[in-house]
Amino acid sequence: MELKELYQEIILDHGKNPRNFGKCKNFTNDAKGHNPLCGDKVHIYTQLDSDKKILDISFEGEGCAISLASASILTDILKGKDLNVAKNIIDNFLNLIKERKLITVNSLNDIQKTTLMSLSGVKDFPMRVKCATMAWHTLSSVLENKNEN
């Protein structure tokens, strides 16, 4: 199977069967994101453990397949991660989408890296970049504002 086909399959799978969909129990922080260009909406819920770890993460949303797949992939990969690791993964992912930087975070296994890479093709479609990054920017704002909630 070509890499491109594998990537498409991963996106389709996450778009059709989003992981961690709905409000997670006992969420402590949340934030909403909106992409007016495409009409995508996302609401991210996290349960943070004393500012150190993402114990649980989930999302609700509607929009195109890319936005749903991206939010699903985000929750799948970041659940259980320490906050500093999560921030590295978010930065790394945004650089991947915007500048095609490789995924270099050590704490990810090959399957997780491939899953993140599946969205890298959107760089060729500027209109879709916001669809792919919306959930990640939203989570970023959850993590940055967590002390003010």
- Angle, helices 83-99 vs 65-78, to 10°: value is 150
**Of residues 20 and 67, the one with the C-beta less far from Zn ion:** 67
Q: How far apart are CA 74 and CA 125, in angstroms?
A: 20
Identify whether the C-beta of residue 40 lies closer than 8 Å to the C-beta of residue 10. no
Minimal distance, residue 123 CB to Zn ion, in Å: 15
Minimal distance, residue 134 CB to Zn ion, in Å: 8
**Of residues 33 and 63, the one with the C-beta less far from Zn ion:** 63
The runs of H, that is alpha helices, within 1-109 are 3-16, 65-78, 83-99
Distance set, CA 33 to CA 82, 104, 107, 138 (Å): 23, 26, 27, 5
Q: How many CB atoms lie within 10 A of CB 4?
A: 10
Minimal distance, residue 74 CB to Zn ion, in Å: 15
Minimal distance, residue 21 CB to Zn ion, in Å: 17
**Of residues 29 and 67, the one with the C-beta less far from Zn ion:** 67
Structure tokens at 97: 């989408």
**Of residues 40 and 56, the one with the C-beta less far from Zn ion:** 40
Minimal distance, residue 42 CB to Zn ion, in Å: 10
**Of residues 47 and 67, the one with the C-beta less far from Zn ion:** 67
Question: Which positions lie near Zn ion, rule CB under 5 A?
Answer: 38, 40, 63-64, 67, 131
Which SS3 state, helix, strand or coil, does residue 146 take?
helix
